[in-house]
A and B are shown apart, each in its own frame.
Chain A
Amino acid sequence: MHPTTLILSSSLILVIAILIYPLLTTLNPNPQDQKWAITHVKTSVKIAFLVSLLPLMIFLDQGTETIITNWHWMNTAPFDINISFKFDHYSIIFTPIALYVTWSILEFASWYMHSDPLMNRFFKYLLLFLVAMILLVSANNMFQLFIGWEGVGIMSFLLIGWWYGRADANTAALQAVLYNRVGDIGLIMAMAWLAMNLNSWEIQQIFFLSKNFDMTLPLIGLILAATGKSAQFGLHPWLPSAMEGPTPVSALLHSSTMVVAGIFLLIRLHPLMENNNIALTTCLCLGALTTLFTAACALTQNDIKKIVAFSTSSQLGLMMVTIGLNQPQLAFLHICTHAFFKAMLFLCSGSIIHSLNDEQDIRKMGGLQNLMPMTSTCLTIGSLALTGTPFLAGFFSKDAIIEALNTSHLNAWALILTLIATSFTAVYSFRVVYFVTMGTPRFLPLSPINENNPSVINPIKRLAWGSIIAGLIITSSFLPSKTPIMSMPLTLKLAALLVTIIGLLTALELTAMTNKQFKITPTIPPHHFSNMLGYFPAIIHRLTPKLNLSLGQSIATQLIDQTWFEATGPKGVSSLQVKMAKTVSDAQQGMIKTYLTIFLLTTTIAILLTMI
């Protein structure tokens, strides 16, 4: 067999085997030693990352993609289900990136969760999540994708509710599961439609046969699934609430890997959507709405993790917009670059939070530039990459997306919303950096500020290198399959940069005004709209349960108790009969013996008459 294919397939299967091995060691009934998390889990992820670089290099050199079908698992009546891994350019690029980010996060978590007695279990959950995510991105059929999909959803629930003694954490975990479930309805509907009409769950067969069908219904299902998993508008409140989980969870799940699963699904199944304008327009408008709404909500949040969460949501909306533009590769590029700087932003937040003794409110931070130089520097690098500063990682993907937006034939409203959201990105990123690192300290004097542990600094430094050079490396290695439009007017070319600079200048102006009393009373309604997340959770989380409960109550009370039992059921029959009996018995006198005697007399006379 040709050595290239042999190395490629075996190293990819080896990656998955390396990740599963530590999970198998937990099946041992003997208790694990204290350092199992570090010796087994982190080492396995590091080795898996290094092994996964092999297929990446082979792909870079020769462009080989592979589909590995292992085992015929089951047979539903019309079609077979196999265990089948598809390593095309999406999975081959995403897997090393996910493993790199996870490696850094695990190393950070060994410092962050150091005092937690259940640290081994925490690492096991993170590893289980990672395995589910790799299964999801490498799935060649919808069944395996569904397994990965549900796996990441459940692990998200378990990890968000890690500190389950806290009521807010339990609520947030439940919220995550419920909103994801609503999205799962869409995925299951799409799978059912595909099984019924295309008679297969294999991606190749779906692509081949979909040209003959009108794919609007399953595509709406898939978009619903992406709305749930990737927190698009309508199913978005779970993502900011998910910040109740520990910071490594937020860094891994809710910034780099799990929330991009929905977008990844749409990227994977993009050939189905290419010609369907309804689906494309839905993606475009939904993504534009999401990105603006969540960016607007991020402007007035005071919890550092919530700001980064809304930033994630805004970038997910941008990815959805890109899919709506028929540019799945740009969306994928943004997923890859976004993973680096968003994970780094979360790790920096975690370092700051621990150093200030679990303080998460940015109004109580400040002046950390001199006290935590490495962390605040990387925070700044991450924020600059997020806003699309030229030639950092975010620039290559974000600028390409905005250029594609400006030169496509599309909905002007979506375009305007996305540009406004891009400027808001600059505003809230600057707000974070200003409140955290600049100015004078507003925290308590006896804060245990210490970033000297290599477990903290090395992951952040690694991700910082990634945030700087990842964009360049990825774009210079892989050719786009759709030709980007290269010539456009200068204003359009610089649109992203201009909008970002406008946002930054506005933010600087507003900052300079904070210590001069520009207005006597603040303008309350916009601030409250933004701070209360557009009142969306306040309305929906109370209205829907209230409607359901009152419906249940009116069914039980009015329909069953008052109508069926009283008026139409047994009691209704009896009340009717009693009325009739009362009317009739008014005419009777009650002399029963007399009546019966006369009856006998009449009968006797009648019989005698017939006999004579």
Chain B
Amino acid sequence: MTPVHFSFSSAFILGLMGLTFHRTHLLSALLCLEGMMLSLFIALALWTLQFEMTGFSAAPMLLLAFSACEASAGLALLVATARTHGTDRLQNLNLLQC
């Protein structure tokens, strides 16, 4: 695979692993989510350039807009967690655990 292809794929996979293997803070999971979104943004932009489909140029912007919404939703949840539990440590989110 081309170096560019390799770079954003590895960025995506590393972000995904960071999201799944996060240890303490919810905020680190959200940051990894942002990294994944960034790599997808680069992937879509490269798609447009490589395949020379100018009609596809709006796709990265759309992705960016939606990822901003999603990031803000995630941050709102973070703030709500901090308000109710006092911290964003994941071991505190255990109300439903039996």
Interface residues of A (CB under 8 A from B): 585, 588-593, 596-597, 599-600, 603
The answer to whether B95 and A590 have CB atoms under 8 Å apart is yes
The answer to whether B97 and A589 have CB atoms under 8 Å apart is yes
Contact A589 to B96, CB < 8 A, known contacts A596-B19, A597-B20, A600-B20: yes
**CA separation between A592 and B17, bound complex, in Å?**
14
Contacts of A593 in B (CB 8 A): 20-22, 90
Interface residues of B (CB under 8 A from A): 16-17, 19-22, 90, 93-98
Central interface residue in B17, B19, B20, B21, by most chain A CB within 10 Å: B20
Kindly report which residue of chain B lies nearest to residue A588, judged by CB atoms.
B96
Our pick among B17, B90, B96 for the contact of A600 (Cβ within 8 Å) is B17
Contacts of B97 in A (CB 8 A): 589-591
The answer to whether A603 and B16 have CB atoms under 8 Å apart is yes
Smallest Cβ distance from B64 to chain A, in angstroms?
24
Our pick among B20, B95, B98 for the contact of A599 (Cβ within 8 Å) is B20
**CA separation between A585 and B95, bound complex, in Å?**
11
The answer to whether A592 and B90 have CB atoms under 8 Å apart is yes
Contacts of A600 in B (CB 8 A): 16-17, 20-21
**CA separation between A96 and B14, bound complex, in Å?**
105
Contact residues of B: prevailing secondary structure: loop
Smallest Cβ distance from B74 to chain A, in angstroms?
13
The answer to whether A592 and B93 have CB atoms under 8 Å apart is yes
Contacts of B93 in A (CB 8 A): 590, 592
Smallest Cβ distance from B14 to chain A, in angstroms?
11
**CA separation between A597 and B17, bound complex, in Å?**
8
Our pick among A585, A596, A597, A599 for the contact of B96 (Cβ within 8 Å) is A585
**CA separation between A591 and B93, bound complex, in Å?**
9
Kindly report which residue of chain A lies nearest to residue B93, judged by CB atoms.
A590
Q: Return the 6 tightest CB-CB contacts between A and B, nearest first.
A: A596-B20, A600-B20, A590-B96, A590-B97, A597-B20, A590-B94
Kindly report which residue of chain A lies nearest to residue B29, judged by CB atoms.
A596
Smallest Cβ distance from B72 to chain A, in angstroms?
18
**CA separation between A403 and B98, bound complex, in Å?**
104
**CA separation between A592 and B91, bound complex, in Å?**
9
With A589-B97, A593-B21, A596-B20 given, name 8 new contacts (CB 8 A): A588-B96, A590-B94, A590-B97, A592-B93, A597-B20, A597-B21, A599-B20, A600-B16
Contacts of B19 in A (CB 8 A): 596
**CA separation between A591 and B94, bound complex, in Å?**
8
Smallest Cβ distance from B16 to chain A, in angstroms?
6
Kindly report which residue of chain A lies nearest to residue B19, judged by CB atoms.
A596
Smallest Cβ distance from B94 to chain A, in angstroms?
5
Contacts of B17 in A (CB 8 A): 600
25 inter-chain pairs at a CB distance below 8 angstroms, sorted by A residue, are A585-B96, A588-B96, A589-B96, A589-B97, A589-B98, A590-B93, A590-B94, A590-B95, A590-B96, A590-B97, A591-B97, A592-B90, A592-B93, A593-B20, A593-B21, A593-B22, A593-B90, A596-B19, A596-B21, A597-B20, A599-B20, A600-B16, A600-B17, A600-B21, A603-B16
**CA separation between A585 and B97, bound complex, in Å?**
11
Kindly report which residue of chain B lies nearest to residue A603, judged by CB atoms.
B16
Contacts of B96 in A (CB 8 A): 585, 588-590
Kindly report which residue of chain B lies nearest to residue A601, judged by CB atoms.
B20
**CA separation between A585 and B22, bound complex, in Å?**
22
Kindly report which residue of chain A lies nearest to residue B17, judged by CB atoms.
A600
Contacts of B90 in A (CB 8 A): 592-593
**CA separation between A585 and B98, bound complex, in Å?**
13
Smallest Cβ distance from A602 to chain B, in angstroms?
10
Smallest Cβ distance from A463 to chain B, in angstroms?
85
Smallest Cβ distance from A587 to chain B, in angstroms?
9
**CA separation between A436 and B33, bound complex, in Å?**
100
Contacts of B16 in A (CB 8 A): 600, 603
Smallest Cβ distance from A344 to chain B, in angstroms?
84
Contacts of A603 in B (CB 8 A): 16
Smallest Cβ distance from A335 to chain B, in angstroms?
77
Smallest Cβ distance from A121 to chain B, in angstroms?
68
Contacts of A591 in B (CB 8 A): 97
**CA separation between A593 and B95, bound complex, in Å?**
15
Contacts of A588 in B (CB 8 A): 96
Smallest Cβ distance from B24 to chain A, in angstroms?
10
**CA separation between A596 and B98, bound complex, in Å?**
19
**CA separation between A599 and B20, bound complex, in Å?**
8
**CA separation between A505 and B21, bound complex, in Å?**
114
Contacts of B22 in A (CB 8 A): 593, 596
Kindly report which residue of chain A lies nearest to residue B23, judged by CB atoms.
A593
Smallest Cβ distance from B73 to chain A, in angstroms?
13
Smallest Cβ distance from A392 to chain B, in angstroms?
92
**CA separation between A592 and B19, bound complex, in Å?**
11
Smallest Cβ distance from A254 to chain B, in angstroms?
70
Contacts of B20 in A (CB 8 A): 593, 596-597, 599-600
Smallest Cβ distance from B43 to chain A, in angstroms?
15
Smallest Cβ distance from B97 to chain A, in angstroms?
5
Smallest Cβ distance from B5 to chain A, in angstroms?
14
